[in-house]
A = this chain, B = another copy of it.
Amino acid sequence: MYVILVYDCGEKRVAKMLKLCRKYLNWIQNSVFEGEISESKLMELKNHAKDIMNVEIDSLIIFSNSNSHWLQKEIVGQERGSTDTFL
């Protein structure tokens, strides 16, 4: 499945979240990731994220779909991360 993941965490937790998400997805900008991931791996990622996050304060949004080809991606300005799954 294809996902776009964005997080907004307290400063103390940002580095851990970045490291975690990089393990599973491609970093594309700031706190934004995308990529193909299996449902079980996504579940794993979410569970690890919940361990890191303060869910009373932090926010994690995951957009997902079984097919990435519905999606057009346009970049204005700089491309922060290059990905294998560039659409």
Contacts and interface: CB of A to CB of B under 8 A. Distances in A.
| Interface size classification for chain A | 35 or more
Contact of A46 (B58, B76, B78): B76
B72 A63 contact: yes
Interface string A1-15: 000101010000000
A23 interface: no
B63 A75 contact: no
A76 B49 contact: yes
Nearest to A28: B61
B70 A70 contact: yes
Interface of A: 4, 6, 8, 28-32, 46, 49-50, 53-65, 67, 70-80
